[in-house]
Structure 1
Amino acid sequence: MTTNLEPVQTFKILIVGESGVGKSSLMARYVHGIFRTQYTATIGVDFQVAIINIGEYRCRLQIWDTAGQERFRSITNSYYRGADGIIIVYDVTDNASFTHVKVRFPDVQNLCDRNVPKILVGNKDDHNREVNKVVLTNDARQYAEQNNLLFFEISVKDNRNITEVFNEIAKLALKRRLNQSENLQNSIAEIRIEHKPINDNSTKNGCCTI
């Protein structure tokens, strides 16, 4: 069966944040549609692939779940190179995880292109959030706006806003790539080669003859 989709666009998407905020659960929920009730810390990085269609483009998302522990930072930092999108996760029931985002964000900006799209995500905003929530929505949204980040509150447990987050990061990554491609084509079109004829008359340049 033929389709009108453009060739596959591959994007490298990183999920970052402090250990325990639910990065692995977020990836598992999105890619496999499952919710893990048991928590296992990621060692280094984990990797999954998802394919979605955005308009006429077929997008292959290479999703990297990076370890949050400090001892793995030297390893995970290298994965920012070539990233097309970054999902920054904190736990709405843990104020320290939000503080970690604030402390770590300048490093994230330095480790990758500042134009790489980034989304701030508050996880564990479950149905009982009125009891457990400590990071207020307005505070997180204000921080996101100050740092030019899109903002979502999600619940991996309740499967809320998961697809929306990945659809949005994929759209932003695709838009950035198309803009880069258009700028490159425009730059090539603007190149002009100047051709200057060679003057064989050596005496014309003030050379004296005997």
Structure 2
Amino acid sequence: MATAPYNYSYIFKYIIIGDMGVGKSCLLHQFTEKKFMADCPHTIGVEFGTRIIEVSGQKIKLQIWDTAGQERFRAVTRSYYRGAAGALMVYDITRRSTYNHLSSWLTDARNLTNPNTVIILIGNKADLEAQRDVTYEEAKQFAEENGGSSGENVEDAFLEAAKKIYQNIQDGSLDLNAAESGVQHKPSAPQGGRLTSEPQPQREGCGC
């Protein structure tokens, strides 16, 4: 049906942040394409993907910005933090340095997003358990101490963030009229109808 891609009620903007080489692009590809990529090229600037999910009976379109981890791109990627409803902060469980840098990424996320932005910590490359350098328990403690959640399942992380954002909408703590909320309410098109206001990704809530 031609209207299917437009049949959703909300748009949530996500960003994926973390050091270079932790697998952010692979996570994006795995979630949006449902295909596992063992080796992803390093992102230059930002990459973009979308997927429609369902939360509490509501269809929600996730617009996901994958940001480069290199320091030389930080000035560029910081502009994409603005207006993010969710931030997925990624580290590599086999490289402690990527975990140690989380505080810096968290500071950026806190300073550049709105107070209600949902932050989820993802320990990537959990399939390399034999090479694990960061325990699940210490990562969980870091997340709890900083008001976030942690996990090592890609699908669950994206969905958990969406559930928390949706809950913030329901309890009124997220103002949908605020430009920086990272959420757009988009009533579903009627059967056979057509929506003509499909937003362009590059204009979606970012200051670029």
TM-score category (smaller protein)? 0.7 to 0.9
The answer for the alignment partner of 1:64 in structure 2 is 65
Separation in 2 of the partners of 1:182 and 1:90?
28
Separation in 2 of the partners of 1:91 and 1:19?
10
The answer for the alignment partner of 1:38 in structure 2 is 39
Q: How does 1:193-208 map to 2 (within 5 A)?
A: none
Tell me the amino acid that sits aligned with residue 149 of structure 2: L
The answer for the alignment partner of 1:168 in structure 2 is 160
Separation in 2 of the partners of 1:32 and 1:96?
29
Judged with a 3 Å threshold, the aligned counterparts in structure 2 of structure 1 residues 18 and 180 are, in CA distance, closer, same or farther, namely: same
Is 1:139 the counterpart of 2:131? The answer is no
Q: How does 1:39-118 map to 2 (within 5 A)?
A: 39-118=40-119
Judged with a 3 Å threshold, the aligned counterparts in structure 2 of structure 1 residues 137 and 38 are, in CA distance, closer, same or farther, namely: closer
Separation in 2 of the partners of 1:163 and 1:64?
16
Q: TM-score, normalised by structure 2?
A: 0.77
How far residue 138 of structure 1 moved from its aligned partner, in angstroms, is 1.6
The answer for the alignment partner of 2:180 in structure 1 is none
Partner of 1:74, secondary structure, is: helix
How far residue 61 of structure 1 moved from its aligned partner, in angstroms, is 0.2
Judged with a 3 Å threshold, the aligned counterparts in structure 2 of structure 1 residues 117 and 36 are, in CA distance, closer, same or farther, namely: same
How far residue 38 of structure 1 moved from its aligned partner, in angstroms, is 2.8
Q: Which has the larger radius of gyration?
A: 1
How far residue 179 of structure 1 moved from its aligned partner, in angstroms, is 2.9
Partner of 1:180, secondary structure, is: coil
How far residue 140 of structure 1 moved from its aligned partner, in angstroms, is 0.9
How far residue 107 of structure 1 moved from its aligned partner, in angstroms, is 2.0
Deviation string for 1:118-154 (max 9, x for gaps)? 101100111x40x20001112111111110111102x
Separation in 1 of the partners of 2:105 and 2:40?
23
Judged with a 3 Å threshold, the aligned counterparts in structure 2 of structure 1 residues 54 and 70 are, in CA distance, closer, same or farther, namely: same
Separation in 2 of the partners of 1:139 and 1:50?
31
How far residue 54 of structure 1 moved from its aligned partner, in angstroms, is 1.1
Separation in 2 of the partners of 1:103 and 1:162?
22
Judged with a 3 Å threshold, the aligned counterparts in structure 2 of structure 1 residues 137 and 74 are, in CA distance, closer, same or farther, namely: same
Separation in 2 of the partners of 1:58 and 1:120?
24
How far residue 7 of structure 1 moved from its aligned partner, in angstroms, is 5.3
- Kept in 1, the 8 Å contact 2:87–2:109? The answer is no
Judged with a 3 Å threshold, the aligned counterparts in structure 2 of structure 1 residues 149 and 182 are, in CA distance, closer, same or farther, namely: closer
The answer for the alignment partner of 1:149 in structure 2 is 148
Q: Structure 1 vs Structure 2: percent identity of aligned residues?
A: 40
Separation in 1 of the partners of 2:151 and 2:91?
11
The answer for the alignment partner of 2:171 in structure 1 is 179
Partner of 1:138, secondary structure, is: helix
The answer for the alignment partner of 2:9 in structure 1 is 8
Structure 2 residue ranges without an equivalent (≥5)? 2-6, 177-208
How far residue 79 of structure 1 moved from its aligned partner, in angstroms, is 0.6
Query: Is the helix fraction higher in 1 or 2?
Result: 1
Partner of 1:78, secondary structure, is: helix
Separation in 2 of the partners of 1:98 and 1:167?
23
